[in-house]
Amino acid sequence: MVREILRLKDELHAVILAHYYQDSIIQEIADIRGDSFELSRRARDVDAEVIVFAGVHFMAETAKILNPGKTVLLPDMNAGCSLAESAPAHLFERYRAMHPDHLAVTYINCTAEVKALSDIICTSSSAESIIEKIPSDTPILFSPDKNLGAYMRHKTGRPMLLWQGVCTVHEQFSAQRIQALRQRWPGAEVIAHPECEGVVLRMADFIGSTSALLRYVLESDVRRFIVATEAGILYEMQKTAPEKEFIAAPPDNACACNICDYMKVNTLEKLYLCMRNRSPEIHIDDALRRRALRPIERMLELADADEVSAAQILSEISLPYSGAQGKSASL
């Protein structure tokens, strides 16, 4: 199957992008691996005709929004996300209308409809630098991850209204069981993704996006880590730092809840089939795509922007919010 996938990749002039939470065999086959931010950036820049996205639906949809002329394939359309599901567009629109003076900074884990209703998209690795570039007197709605939002509130000191969504994987970690592991392995560091609950984040030695966690373990002198994020990242950590030990942080129950079932519906066989059949393919209405595009572009632009260009990017956002199509005074 691996041989066939590589053959189809040539035949289709395709590139395979994989999130670090994918099965190790899929990560191994992928041309590009990364966290949500890196994958969005690489998806914008690839020059292949076909993008095969081994990740969840919102990631593949983001790649399509950035590349309307390319074919974007997702091995299984059921690869959803609890955060995206927590924010239906009609409720989000009502929420925005209730807070028209607030700027909507929305985590990339959401649908295209919600992106289109937002001002700026962010990822876990770009949220802090984006929020810090927003004028301090502008109130912010942060959606849909309440844990990442609360962490950003703490890091930036900015008051923010938080949508009450959670990642069902990251909110499962047990602070008590992590503490027990720490006592068993003195010297081990706890590292955590900001989608975890505050009680876990407060005990972490380092907090960061998937890629930031990976970089941290490579650069640190510490030998043993208790890792509070989806267990798929352990494969890349162990591969790049074989001399170190990585212990998956335990959930607060007996199930394997540190595995994202949405990510894992993609299998090697489905990857092969989607390339062979050129299906399932992501399609998106063009008017919606255009409305969702600018908030994503703002994220990519703001991540690299200096103060002057950030102010320029932000000045095109209209507040107070006056509905999906509305425009009024600039920020």
Residue with tokens 């069902």, as numbered in its chain: 168
Residues whose CB falls within 8 Å of the CB of residue 316, separated by 6 or more in sequence, listed in order: 330
Residues whose CB falls within 8 Å of the CB of residue 303, separated by 6 or more in sequence, listed in order: 37, 126, 129, 130
22: contact with ligand 13P by CB under 6 A: no
SS3 34: strand
Q: Which does 210 bind (CB under 5 to 8 A by kind): ligand 13P, ligand SF4, none?
A: ligand 13P
263: contact with ligand SF4 by CB under 6 A: yes
Identify which of residues 209 and 258 has a Cβ nearer to ligand 13P in the complex.
209
Q: Report how far residue 270's alpha carbon sits from residue 75's, in angstroms, rounded to the nearest whole number.
A: 5
Helix-strand-coil split of the chain, %, nearest 5: 45, 15, 40
35: contact with ligand 13P by CB under 6 A: yes
Q: What is the DSSP string of 199-252?
A: HHHTT-SEE--HHHHHHHHHH-S--EEEEES-TTHHHHHHHH-TTSEEEEPPBS
E strands, the chain, are 14-19, 32-34, 50-54, 71-73, 103-107, 120-122, 140-143, 160-162, 189-192, 206-207, 224-228, 245-248
Identify which of residues 79 and 116 has a Cβ nearer to ligand SF4 in the complex.
79
Q: Which does 125 bind (CB under 5 to 8 A by kind): ligand SF4, ligand 13P, none?
A: ligand 13P
262: contact with ligand SF4 by CB under 6 A: yes
Contacts with ligand 13P in 103-132 (CB under 6 A)? 109, 123-125
Output DSSP code: residue 125.
Answer: T
27: contact with ligand SF4 by CB under 6 A: no
Exactly one of 27, 36, 106, 143 binds ligand 13P (CB under 6 A); that residue is 36
SS3 7: helix
Identify which of residues 18 and 103 has a Cβ nearer to ligand 13P in the complex.
18
Identify which of residues 18 and 46 has a Cβ nearer to ligand 13P in the complex.
18
114: contact with ligand SF4 by CB under 6 A: no
168: contact with ligand SF4 by CB under 6 A: yes
Q: Which does 209 bind (CB under 5 to 8 A by kind): ligand SF4, ligand 13P, none?
A: ligand 13P
Identify which of residues 14 and 127 has a Cβ nearer to ligand 13P in the complex.
127
Altogether, the residues listed in the chain come to a count of 331
Q: Using CB under 6 A, list all residues that contact ligand 13P.
A: 35-37, 81, 109, 123-125, 167, 195, 209-210
Q: Using CB under 6 A, list all residues that contact ligand SF4.
A: 21, 56, 81-83, 109, 167-170, 195, 230, 260, 262-263
